[in-house]
Structure 1
């Protein structure tokens, strides 16, 4: 006897009149309808939809935190990356403040015992915690707890260059946000210099042979060093360079001869920032050096070597044209950033560097944090937004009502789907 045709997925949802249901089945079915109706009714009666969505978001964050302690290395990496993406999308300082000890402990364990990928993921998460906490005391605790282990990994030659680069960027951002004393900042900058100084010219004037991965590490260390330079007190730069607490302009200019694009670009930005800070102290800051470096930058701004990629040549020419314009004419190209109904002007090299560094940490979430994060608004001196005519209470109420209805429908659909799934018996196919 041939076997009957097996029912597919489409047959399972099809009503068949030959099937009989017992009283119990009917009772369960009614329960599903009543429970779904009651859930939807409670939502329609005025439950705060935003609070409901926020609670769901925090529940997911708690699940990610629980996953940071699992045995699987890949599982921990996935949870770290998911937590980082969630904290980028939403500003939740209170949630992070209540659990910063747990998060720091997990990051510290991953940095000490994890593999290269886990170390890199943990290093990416670390500065995000500082961004979320802002000027809270907990932010200083995070910096004090994680800085030693981040520095250990960054200086460890046995660790992969990619993970070390992430640690350097994390150290730069956390040091910038914490606003530590000048002595602590200088110590951190000197440690970073020991890393990127490997790209200085050799004693005989030859260019060191550096792989692409190591070059990215040197660029990351120099980028973090440059970010910390924006925290220098006014009038201190010249004295620090004269006392050799900071590298000289000649040493930094040697990095412009690197065969790697990222090192050249980062070195150019560092030199522009040094000139900007130095000219605040003295209008004729390093005039003799400016004449020499102008010729070098002109060559980079008009570079047309075919052995370099077309995209790299284009990026290099654009960057060094801006640097040349500043060194020669004191002109900084204005960059305008729009977020919401507000506008941020990046009219100095310091602001451009700070914004680029925060974009590296926050990615697409930078606009959200610029609008809500008080620390970022203080850094860029963003005042309260001007109320537009269409920002009237009536217009805002209509917008909130539309959002509420949309969220209400989404929540009701989810509740109905969950209720039906619980009461659907897929084993009743015959």
Structure 2
């Protein structure tokens, strides 16, 4: 029966001729002419009644899909996997086939779909996450998975590199693997070669990791050819591109995706740095340490092996030695856990610079590093007789330094030691009166040899130091952070904050907002970026427990200040030293 101008068929199977007309083989076998199409009468080189039937409509598997599904079945019982494809139909087919084989998986199609992603992250029985390559190659943290499957090659290697980086991240603790599927001798093989800029080898030594179906993520990313000629052909930057756009485009590529390479290169450079490199590298180590967080003792050991020689070297400039000491202290504070000997060793490196002959930058950073690490030790160690007497004398002498930053840092260390004595109920230390008199004098400094700005800063610091030494009053410092308030009521926390701020400088605010390792150091809740709606209410709502605690604290502070004011007014004056 003729159904249309291009279709002739009955209820049986349907076949297709070379002219693309469909027909029923059973019906056409009864016709007189079985060597030509019944519609266009074009002759065929075979008997049309023997043409094979069309496959049923729907999705079908090929050799690549069979290989992919086989690999997923082997890996899924032990590891979670992420599958990237450029085509939604391929992901639909993978989803259907894995479901038939009893493997539970989820597919993100568009939008945020946080609930589906959370299922993959939290539920052990969800083993596979299916993602469109162009939509989800960036912005996700999928460290729960350790295997990445790239179904098709791409003419843009950066897309694959970004997709791999969803799994290979700084907080990934397991080895990661990348599986590629490329058919040799066809368009796939050609597009892969073109995407990586041909088969050129840089310096004759570049290993081509794209030919391997399984390998580490770092090796695969590092194999991308980034020569100037290739980059100029495949990635042109418009003239109106801003520096911020370039940073956003390439920063992740040059940091998270190539972390191991950068890390090893920086370690190598740090062994014999130039002046400029020596100023920057210790800060890089400190920032990475703040991102890695605690329990990174192996990282601390490697950093210590290259920075400690710089601190001890008489060849390096004072600024390089100071930066090395600061970076080593920050890495020890954030990464070395449970071993007080490391902190004590670095504090010993600081001692030679506690004199007025040292340059201000070296003395200041040595004092800040010493105070930061001393705050992590048990207070009984700080009040040992020989240790306490020696350092009190050193710090008291440094309060006569010509530099206001050195004087302030020395005063804060004095307050830290007296705070340790108060915690251990030592209230009659010999010489405490002389030290308090010196601090009171500094809190009222009026000499014209110092600028007005320096005098104001000195007065602010030494008033609090004097109150701690003479009256056992803790400091009361607070910083506003959007909807949060950072409060310090002991000198140890203040010195830790100062050390981290010296390392991060203008990036301190961003780390306080989004770096949970830094937030944990200062007893801040985890960043709201990863909070559920319920968790946000528990910490951000005005009726939450944390907000009520803050309100109670502020109420007590107001009562205390009002009480002091009433006492002053009723007594007709105030008997004090200043």
- Whether TM-score is above 0.5 comes out as yes
- Residue 370 (structure 1) aligns with: 512
Find the structure with the greater CA-based Rg: 2
Secondary structure of 2:512's counterpart equals: helix
- Residue 166 (structure 1) aligns with: 323
Matches within 5 A, 1:328-367: 328-367=470-509
- Residue 154 (structure 1) aligns with: 311
TM-score normalised by the chain length of structure 2: 0.48
Which of 412, 415, 437 aligns to 1:272? It is 415
- Taking a change above 3 Å as real, the CA distance of residues 390 and 226 of structure 1, as seen in their structure-2 partners, is closer
Secondary structure of 1:304's counterpart equals: coil
- Taking a change above 3 Å as real, the CA distance of residues 390 and 106 of structure 1, as seen in their structure-2 partners, is farther
- Taking a change above 3 Å as real, the CA distance of residues 246 and 105 of structure 1, as seen in their structure-2 partners, is farther
Q: Check conservation: 1:301, 1:320, Cα contact below 8 A.
A: yes
Give the deviation of 1:264 after TM superposition. 1.0
- Residue 186 (structure 2) aligns with: none
Does residue 1:324 correspond to 2:466, yes or no? yes
Q: Residues of 2 paired with 1:134 and 1:105: CA distance?
A: 19
- Residue 392 (structure 2) aligns with: 249
Higher helix share: 1
- Residue 397 (structure 1) aligns with: none
Q: Check conservation: 2:443, 2:459, Cα contact below 8 A.
A: yes
- Taking a change above 3 Å as real, the CA distance of residues 311 and 250 of structure 1, as seen in their structure-2 partners, is same
Q: Residues of 1 paired with 2:428 and 2:276: CA distance?
A: 44
Secondary structure of 1:284's counterpart equals: coil
- Residue 282 (structure 2) aligns with: 123
Matches within 5 A, 1:143-222: 143-177=300-334, 178-194=336-352, 196-199=353-356, 208=357, 214-222=359-367
- Residue 260 (structure 1) aligns with: 403
Higher strand share: 2
Q: Residues of 1 paired with 2:325 and 2:368: CA distance?
A: 9
Q: Check conservation: 1:153, 1:159, Cα contact below 8 A.
A: yes
Q: Residues of 2 paired with 1:120 and 1:327: CA distance?
A: 36
- Residue 445 (structure 2) aligns with: 303
Q: Check conservation: 1:104, 1:145, Cα contact below 8 A.
A: no
Q: Check conservation: 1:275, 1:285, Cα contact below 8 A.
A: no
Secondary structure of 1:319's counterpart equals: helix
Q: Residues of 1 paired with 2:341 and 2:272: CA distance?
A: 30
Does residue 1:113 correspond to 2:266, yes or no? no
Give the deviation of 1:270 after TM superposition. 0.5
Give the deviation of 1:157 after TM superposition. 1.8
Secondary structure of 1:356's counterpart equals: helix
Give the deviation of 1:254 after TM superposition. 1.0
Q: Residues of 1 paired with 2:378 and 2:300: CA distance?
A: 21
Secondary structure of 2:383's counterpart equals: helix
- How many residues align? The count is 307
Give the deviation of 1:180 after TM superposition. 4.8
Q: Residues of 2 paired with 1:103 and 1:281: CA distance?
A: 46
Q: Check conservation: 2:275, 2:320, Cα contact below 8 A.
A: yes
Unmatched runs of 5 consecutive residues or more in structure 2? 1-108, 113-133, 141-157, 170-217, 228-242, 527-535, 545-578
Q: Residues of 1 paired with 2:135 and 2:381: CA distance?
A: 49
Cα RMSD for the two superposed structures: 3.7
Secondary structure of 2:466's counterpart equals: helix
- Residue 199 (structure 2) aligns with: none
- Residue 421 (structure 1) aligns with: none
Q: Residues of 2 paired with 1:389 and 1:280: CA distance?
A: 35
TM-score normalised by the chain length of structure 1: 0.63
- Residue 424 (structure 2) aligns with: 281
- Taking a change above 3 Å as real, the CA distance of residues 52 and 338 of structure 1, as seen in their structure-2 partners, is farther
Q: Residues of 1 paired with 2:417 and 2:355: CA distance?
A: 21
Does residue 1:228 correspond to 2:373, yes or no? yes
Q: Check conservation: 1:272, 1:327, Cα contact below 8 A.
A: yes
- Residue 297 (structure 2) aligns with: 140
Give the deviation of 1:362 after TM superposition. 2.3
Does residue 1:54 correspond to 2:139, yes or no? yes
Give the deviation of 1:220 after TM superposition. 0.8
Give the deviation of 1:390 after TM superposition. 12
Give the deviation of 1:144 after TM superposition. 0.5
